[in-house]
Amino acid sequence: MIGKYKFNDLISGSFILVTILITFLTLTGYLGKFNYILDLTADFKAQYLVIGFWTFFFFLLTQNKLWLVISLSCILLNLMEIVPWYLPESASATETTTGQLRVFQSNVLYNNKKSSKVISLVREEKPDIAVFIEVSKVWAKELAALKDLLPYSVLSQDSDNFGTALFSKFPLEKVSFEEFQGPRKTIIATIKYQGKEVIVMGTHPNYPLEKVGFIQRNSQLETMADYLAKVNNSVRLMGDN
């Protein structure tokens, strides 16, 4: 009997420990601007949410009110971040009537050898603009197969494995390559869409897995934000971090 109680205490204690951990990580995710390690904890909101539901139902079954409330709070915090991902963006009456610009973005992973699947997906989705990240020299050749669908393209090949490619259904004008204080160039081009100029951008900021990458990523995003604040035209910014 004593062993049974100890086992139950062990299970309950494990769920409490997990709840403390995911709640802590959920909160530290909001402090990412101060430290790159804290910034990394913000990347797992979906996982925290799933684990939070498991702990919530355990405390609901065991009627542990204190930890039930804490677990529910953790769930709500993560839902606030995740739900907007799946809500449709509001569109103006003009856009709804005349149709929206369709964009496609993919990090192809430079050593990925399944280019045919990516190309098939693009053909299925039929975007107006497509941006590909981590384009190696091999991938650049493979993506050329999309020229019949998206005849206008530009490539920024920062290294053998890291490049950014922008494909368009419309002619690309005013093409430029900007660093924005980052190690990889951002492609900027202008297209004419429904009689108006639209700026399209493809970018790949540095990954913040260590301090130097964290600093470069933040600096690049801040510089890019300053640039966008001065732009009067509509902008479509696509990329991966």
Structural domain ending residue among the three candidates 16, 51, 85: 85
pLDDT at 5: 56
- Asked if residue 93 belongs to a domain, the reply is no
- Asked if residue 73 belongs to a domain, the reply is yes
Q: Which residues of the chain have pLDDT under 50?
A: 91-98
pLDDT at 3: 54
| Total number of domains in the chain | 2
Is 59 in the same domain as 166? no
pLDDT at 7: 63
Is 76 in the same domain as 113? no
pLDDT at 9: 78
pLDDT at 141: 94
Structural domain ending residue among the three candidates 85, 120, 155: 85
Domain with 229, as residue range(s), is 100-239
pLDDT at 237: 92
- Asked if residue 133 belongs to a domain, the reply is yes
pTM greater than 0.75: no
- Asked if residue 231 belongs to a domain, the reply is yes
Longest CA–CA separation in the chain, Å: 79
Is 131 in the same domain as 198? yes
Is 71 in the same domain as 176? no
pLDDT at 233: 87
- Asked if residue 190 belongs to a domain, the reply is yes
Is 213 in the same domain as 114? yes
Is 129 in the same domain as 182? yes
- Asked if residue 90 belongs to a domain, the reply is no
pLDDT at 210: 82
